[in-house]
Amino acid sequence: MNLFSRSLFRRVGAACLLSVLSATLCLAAETPRYEDHLKLALVNMQPVWGDKDANLKKMVRMANEAADNGAQMIVFPEMCLTGYAMEQGDIKRADRMQIRLAETETGPSAAVMTKLAKERSVYIVYGYPERIGSDKLNVYNSAFVAGPDGYLGSYRKIHPFGSEVIWCKTGTEPFSFDTPWGPMGISICYDTYNYPELGRYYGALGCRMILNPTATSWAYYSNKNLKDGKPLNDGFPTSGNNTEWVNRFKSRVEAVVVQSGLFVASSDLAGAEYDAKGTFMGTCFPGGSCVVGPSDDKPGTLTYFDYFGTDPGAFATEGIAYSTVDLSRATRNSFANYIKTDLQEGNLYMPDLYAKWFGNLAASGKFTSLNHAMSGAAAQ
């Protein structure tokens, strides 16, 4: 190789190297770098039914306690601001507690929790009945979100359960918000457990965690064992009476983790619901707030999920469960399964194809919900 050839080779090589480095830097610039370690505070809360002021004071106290303990993301249960139970009897929708106590997303309770989130530099999620606009009946079962920079938005439950439809309207839009740990998706209770479409959407969007404010008591029968008209142990789990609920709950959240390779952080109501006069409102909740996510996928692994120091069966009182999770475990493999062969090339996760299926299904009018009547309200 003569001097000219060597010089040309060096110039071409340098140009190629520069091109590769430029492409790498562009790719790095386009790929967000998120923090992986997140400390969660997951709240078991026993609200006073219909007493928003008392519940807000409790939420402020618990949020400050969580912030004092280093929590970065604080999750409260579904409908914790007002309580969950529906009054029995023929009551006009406008007279129901959830309608009477509904607030807008910038209402007085929202202002208090937004101020706290900004002052303590934390993220706060809580459940509440949300009124939109001036129509008093335009109310949703919603989850409020605020962070260090202020109010971030509200998610409106897309799949109300059972008798919830007596008072709330049906949401139509997913909701996610940006954080230093990447986007976070929100689904409420029945959304999470029975409708994988929403969780899959969040995973495909890039969420490594779903936040799940919940009021789940399906298979928890404490409200059936009464003494003098009130449940034993104030409605909190005792003598293993939450076993059936634990089995049902765990199987549902673990399915989300295994399917989508992400975390689910749940906060549940706890204990019996009483109004300010001490009247039992007919509902009891087992608590069990927890986080579940992917475990190591390597030889010797016995389960592909972990609860990271939380335990839905053991956490059976009002209080806060803390857990620090490593979100790098949320690999979301089923969304990144790229294939390239002599026969085909592309992603195995194909939302354009699924959109076609579901579009055809919706147009046909032959999906189950049109023909399946729900036999009354059941315990969620």
- At 116-171, the pLDDT tens digits run 999 999 999 999 999 999 999 999 999 999 999 999 999 999 999 988 999 999 99
pLDDT of residue 41: 98
Residue 15, in any domain of the structure: no
Residue 364, in any domain of the structure: no
Give residue for tokens 């997951």. 42
Residue 167, in any domain of the structure: yes
Please compute the mean of the pLDDT values over residues 313-337 and round it to a whole number.
94
Residue 138, in any domain of the structure: yes
165 secondary structure, DSSP code: G
Strand intervals (E) in the chain: 37-44, 48-49, 73-75, 123-131, 139-147, 150-156, 176-177, 184-186, 209-214, 226-227, 230-231, 263-268, 270-275, 280-286, 290-294, 305-306, 319-326, 338-340, 345-347
Reported as a pLDDT band with limits 50, 70 and 90, residue 23 is very low
pLDDT of residue 14: 45
Please compute the mean of the pLDDT values over residues 34-54 and round it to a whole number.
97
Residue 19, in any domain of the structure: no
Please compute the mean of the pLDDT values over residues 54-61 and round it to a whole number.
98
pLDDT tens per residue, range 224-274: 889 989 999 999 999 999 999 999 999 999 999 999 999 999 999 999 999
Residue 352, in any domain of the structure: no
How many domains is the chain built from? 1
* pLDDT for residue 380 is more than 60: no
In the annotation, is 157 catalytic? yes
Distance CA 354, CA 349 (A): 9
Q: Which of 124, 126, 157 lies closest to 139 in space, CA to CA? A: 157
Q: Check 78, 164, 273, 318 and give the catalytic one.
A: 78
Please compute the mean of the pLDDT values over residues 272-278 and round it to a whole number.
94
pLDDT of residue 88: 86
Q: Which domain holds residue 258?
A: 33-338
Reported as a pLDDT band with limits 50, 70 and 90, residue 22 is very low
pLDDT of residue 3: 45
Check which CATH number belongs to the domain holding 46 and give it. 3.60.110.10
pLDDT of residue 347: 85
* pLDDT for residue 5 is more than 90: no
Compute the mean pLDDT over every residue in the chain, rounded to the nearest whole number. 89
Secondary structure (DSSP) of 68-123 = HTT-SEEEPPTTTTT--PPPPSS--GGGSHHHHT-B-TTSHHHHHHHHHHHHHT-E
Residue 351, in any domain of the structure: no
Please compute the mean of the pLDDT values over residues 309-326 and round it to a whole number.
98
Distance CA 154, CA 255 (A): 26
Q: Check 52, 157, 207, 273 and give the catalytic one.
A: 157
Please compute the mean of the pLDDT values over residues 82-101 and round it to a whole number.
94
Q: Quote the radius of gyration of the chain (alpha carbons, Å).
A: 24
pLDDT of residue 2: 52
How do strand 230-231 and strand 263-268 relate by DSSP bridges?
unpaired
**Cross-strand partners of 266:** 212, 290
pLDDT tens per residue, range 297-314: 778 777 889 999 999 999
How do strand 209-214 and strand 263-268 relate by DSSP bridges?
parallel
Structure token pair of residue 217: 């008591």
* pLDDT for residue 80 is more than 80: yes
pLDDT of residue 19: 45
**Are the CB atoms for 184 and 177 separated by under 8 Å?**
yes
pLDDT of residue 341: 87
Residue 67, in any domain of the structure: yes
Q: Check 189, 207, 284, 290 and give the catalytic one.
A: 189
